[in-house]
Structure 1
Amino acid sequence: MSWKTAYRSIYYQDAPEPEDPQLAFAETALLVIDIQNTYLDRPDPAGLSDAERARYDAWTPFHERMRDMVVPRTRDLLERFRKHGIECVFARIATHTRDGRERSLSQKMPGWNNLLLPKDDWPSQLVDPLQPTGDEICVIKTTDSALTGTNLRLMLNNMGIRNVVCCGIFTDQCVSSTVRSLADESFNVIVVEDCCAAGSDELHHKELEIINMIYCHVMSSAELKAIMGID
């Protein structure tokens, strides 16, 4: 099954197959979202309680997907985009203040989302294989969406970008929020399925089904490279 027929919700079961997108290099940017140290860091399982070990095990498929697929394939895309002079842009969750008082409500909610990530601390940094190089732009966001929480929309428009290729985590949270914001601003959006991950495969695939065909087109990195002629 190709990207033209995959991830179709009930709304789009009978929709015609889309045409290949026209992704002119000068009008296209790769956006890497929130692949930060805090999300890939893991404790030593030997010292965990039973409840902590259960949570550890529940997150193991996510970490395996990140290690074996998302990080290496996103790095491969970055290398190919850079080789062809295509813009590479990054976004990360972080706070400008030490206590995070400027965060949006969604990033202050009790529980898993309530992470305090001062911008200069190691947990908030992008992982080493996916660091910006040269003068590549990295925005710091205090909301889920990389557009709502920054001046990224203005910068993309100023650079003449019309098409945004999205990679990152988490598919059902910051990736989805960013994709919807980009679509609302009339950018053409591609989500690279194998360069994204959610807390579970079920959440990942369901969210792609929800956003596909209305806010973006979902495809694999191999399909994207073939369409752009950078494979």
Structure 2
Amino acid sequence: MTWDWKTAYRSFYYETAEPPADIVLDPATTALLVIDVQNTYLQIPDDPAEAARWQPFHRRMAETVIPNAAALITDARRRGVEVIHARIACLKPDGRDRSLSQKKPGFNYLLLPKDEQPSQIVDALQPAPDDIVVLKTTDSALTGTNLRLILHNMGIRTVIVAGIFTDQCVSSTVRSLADESFDVLVVDDACAAATDALHRNELTTINMIYCHVVRRSDVSTFFPAA
């Protein structure tokens, strides 16, 4: 089936809704936000069974998410769109400044001191000197940082979102942005969850109400011709 962002990822709530209006982006009021593409998430587990379990995620990151995020960043810089990175990073070495969601046992137990290598953004997406980087100890990049103030101060109205994990920090950020009345675009092929099913399910849930789900090839068509 041919991809069409206006009809893709429709949940029960929106399967009979009219197609959304065309999107027109103004570079001066648009920002690209790349969430949590950090070294820790590219590390292959030592346990062979766990490595096999996560192999599809690592393949998607290497072959799809990181290349597409890099392309979005390059295009944003060329157009004068603000590039913002969010990364999980605690200010205290013992992580006591983390939110409860990042202290719970299991996958979401995240102890990533801000100056250590695991918390750094991956080399392929390294911030430029003019990029903004916010540190967060929450899932939402809006709730746990001064990003809300930064966006308002710069006159940003639309945020293009890429990164990981679709069903966790990406979704949490998107919902927060929508509640603050930002227009949000989530780039399907520049995001990933642990599994494709989780990724697709979350995009179906948030599309049309909290954001519009698009693909990288769509984004450039939303800007006026030079």
Indicate the TM-score class for this superposition, using the shorter chain for normalisation: over 0.9
SS state at 1:72 partner: helix
CA distance in 2, matches of 1:80, 1:3: 20
Alignment of 1:27-176 (within 5 A): 27-43=29-45, 52-176=47-171
Letter in 2 for 1:198: A
Q: What amino acid maps onto 1:192 in structure 2? A: V
Q: Is contact 1:172-1:203 (8 Å) kept?
A: yes
By how many angstroms is 1:229 displaced? 5.1
* Residue identity in the other structure for 2:41: Y
Q: In structure 1, give the amino acid aligned to 2:26.
A: A
Residue by residue, what CA displacement relative to the aligned partner does 1:124-183 show, whole Å, maximum 9, x if unpaired?
000011111022110000100000000000000000000000000000000000000000
Q: Percent identity?
A: 60
Q: TM-score, normalised by structure 1?
A: 0.94
Q: What is the alpha-carbon distance in structure 1 between the residues aligned to residue 218 and residue 24 of structure 2?
A: 13
Shift of 1:60: 0.4
The match for 1:23 among 25, 29, 32 is 25
Partner of 1:186: 181
Q: Which whole-Å CA distance do the structure 1 matches of 2:220 and 2:50 have between them?
A: 36
Q: CA deviation at 1:230?
A: 7.6
Q: Evaluate the alpha carbon distance shift between residue 172 and residue 128 of structure 1 in structure 2; reply closer, same or farther with a 3 A threshold.
A: same
Name the residue aligned to 1:218. 213
Judge which range, 217-226 or 181-190, deviates more.
217-226
* Equivalent-residue separation in structure 2 for 1:228 and 1:142 (angstroms): 33
CA RMSD of superposed structures (Å): 1.2
Distance 1:65 1:13, change over 3 A: same
Q: Is the 8 A contact 1:80 1:230 kept in 2?
A: no
Given that residues 37 and 124 in structure 1 are in contact (C-alpha distance below 8 angstroms), is that contact kept between their aligned partners in structure 2?
A: yes
Structure 1 stretch displaced more, 147-156 or 221-230: 221-230
Give the 3 Å change call, closer, same or farther, for CA 224–230 of structure 1 in structure 2.
Answer: farther
Return the alpha-carbon distance in structure 2 between the equivalents of residues 20 and 140 of structure 1: 34
Whole-angstrom CA distance in 1 between matches of 2:5 and 2:75: 21
Deviation at 1:220, TM superposition (A): 0.5
What amino acid is aligned across from residue 169 of structure 1 in structure 2? I
Say if 2:25 and 2:224, in contact at 8 Å, map to a contact too. Answer: no
Distance apart, 1:22 and its partner CA: 2.3
Cα distance in 1 for partners of 2:72, 2:64 equals 12
Q: Look up the equivalent residue of 1:105 and give its one-letter code.
A: L
Q: What amino acid is the match of 1:159?
A: M
Alpha-carbon distance between aligned partners in 1 of 2:108 and 2:116, rounded to the nearest angstrom = 18
* Cα distance in structure 1, aligned partners of 2:225 and 2:195: 30
CA distance in 2, matches of 1:23, 1:141: 27
CA–CA separation in structure 2 for the residues paired with 1:230 and 1:36: 34
| Number of matched pairs | 224
Q: 2:15 aligns with which of 8, 13, 16?
A: 13
TM-score, scaled to structure 2: 0.97
